[in-house]
Amino acid sequence: MTDSRFPSLTVIDHPLVQHKLSLVRDRDTRPIQFRQLLREIGLLMGYELTRDLPLERRPIETPITAMEAPFIAGPVTMVSILRAGLGMAEGLRELLPGAKEGHIGLYRDPETHQPKEYFVKLPAEPGRVLLVDPMLATGGSAVHAVEVLLARGVPAAEIRFLCLIAAPEGVERFAGAHPDVPIITASLDSHLDDKAYIVPGLGDAGDRLYGTSHPEPEVR
């Protein structure tokens, strides 16, 4: 599904993705189930995210005959924005077990909402880059992560950004900064609240994934 306001945005409205997203949003969903759902959604959304990967033909032998068979051409790298990106990357890894992996560590300053970078590790020749973070809120983190990739020589045309929930404010900022980078999401939510959380959203994705929310969930 596309949105006329945002030409670079695709919203995946597949019923399985929407069902799992509703479970993820539910405040009573605990970290273990949250993690499992992010993995499953990453895998399902990965189907759309990888739709335009280039193919090349290579010779193989089937039990019947020789043929030129299509294979994914060139390297693919999943880049997780830490911490929460790791949850969806688990699902992508199942789809693309041969992919390289990179990490960009960012956290949002609670007062200014500006991203603070604390870690970057990327492969030297990443090829197609699938940048993953479940939340596109103000857009500061995703915009910064794309800038890190561009500074390392990754062409914008090779980057795809996968998120679970996007706020219109974040999509506007990201599309303004990086109009050539497609955004794939499962939901364009309503707006940001006064603490720059997405409404209705799912709360703090990293905290829910790792059980670091306050109060911390009971150990069961």
Is 135 near ligand URA (CB under 6 A)?
Answer: yes
Based on CB atoms, which residue is closest to ligand URA, 127 or 217?
A: 217
Based on CB atoms, which residue is closest to ligand URA, 2 or 212?
A: 212
Active site residue 112: yes
Q: Is the dihedral of CA 188, 139, 7, 76 positive or negative?
A: negative
C-alpha to C-alpha distance for 167 and 199, rounded to whole angstroms: 8
Beta bridge partners of 108: 115
Based on CB atoms, which residue is closest to ligand PRP, 90 or 133?
A: 133
Using CB under 6 A, pick the residue from 41, 45, 88, 137 that binds ligand URA.
Answer: 137
Assess contact for 197 and 169: CB atoms under 8 A. no
Is 107 near ligand URA (CB under 6 A)?
Answer: no
The residue type found at 168 is: P
C-alpha to C-alpha distance for 154 and 147, rounded to whole angstroms: 10
Extended beta strands in 28-112, E state: 55-61, 66-72, 76-82, 100-108
Contacts of ligand URA in 168-207 (CB under 6 A): 197-198, 201, 204-206
C-alpha to C-alpha distance for 161 and 137, rounded to whole angstroms: 13
Assess contact for 118 and 81: CB atoms under 8 A. no
Based on CB atoms, which residue is closest to ligand PRP, 126 or 170?
A: 170
Binding piece for ligand PRP, criterion CB under 6 A, among 32-40, 43-51, 61-69, 76-84: 76-84
Active site residue 207: yes
How is residue 153 annotated by DSSP? T
Based on CB atoms, which residue is closest to ligand URA, 9 or 99?
A: 9
Q: How far is the CB of 48 from ligand PRP (least distance, A)?
A: 20
Assess contact for 131 and 161: CB atoms under 8 A. yes
C-alpha to C-alpha distance for 130 and 99, rounded to whole angstroms: 10
Q: How far is the CB of 65 from ligand URA (least distance, A)?
A: 52
List 26, 112, 193, 212, catalytic entry: 112
Active site residue 57: no
Interface characters, 119-148, with ligand PRP (x: CB under 6 A): --------------xxxxxxxxxx------
Is 185 near ligand PRP (CB under 6 A)?
Answer: no
Residues that bind ligand PRP (CB under 6 A): 81-84, 106-108, 113, 115, 133-142, 170, 196, 204-207
Indicate which residues carry an active-site annotation: 108, 112, 204, 207
